[in-house]
Amino acid sequence: MPVHYDISTNLNLVVYICTKTVSAATFFQAGDKVALDPRLQPKMNIIIDFYLAELELAASDLRFAIEKMKETRQRGHEVRTAVLTKSTSMKFLGDAIKFMSHESPFDFSIFNTEKDAVRWLGISEEDALLFWTKTRKFTFKQHSTEIESYLSSAG
């Protein structure tokens, strides 16, 4: 599975680590698991780490994403999301989603560094970066051969 997550109730934070190629449907399947996780609380901050992943997206996926955002709002969750990526096209995607959905409960922004993402969320930088790093290491340890294979084919 190319999308992994962990939740820190102390930091009020959900971290998604994405690897390889991720479709919108795959990402939102992981989001559905998070929604059922008993550690999840309303108004948690979210970090989506796409740094080592590629997003596979069709125009229809934008509408699907907006519908998922509306479902989140109906559940009473207001979400602030920082997305980490090295892809410039992700910035355009974020702008498109903001343009298409004025009523989105998501306040999100795209970043190229971990520190900028954490600072924007306004949470403890040291603690958040430590939790993020542990989550990333656990993900990579669990799926090291998949990630190594992906990195060697992408490079």
Residue for token pair 């596979």: 56
Q: Give the 3-state secondary structure of 82-150.
A: EEECCCCHHHHHHHHHHHHCCCCCEEEEEECCHHHHHHHHCCCHHHHHHHHHHHHHHHHHHCHHHHHHH
pLDDT at 155: 45
CATH number assigned to the domain covering 3-128+136-143: 3.30.750.24
pLDDT digits (tens, 9 = 90+) for 26-59: 888 998 899 899 999 888 999 999 988 888 877 6
pTM over 0.85: no
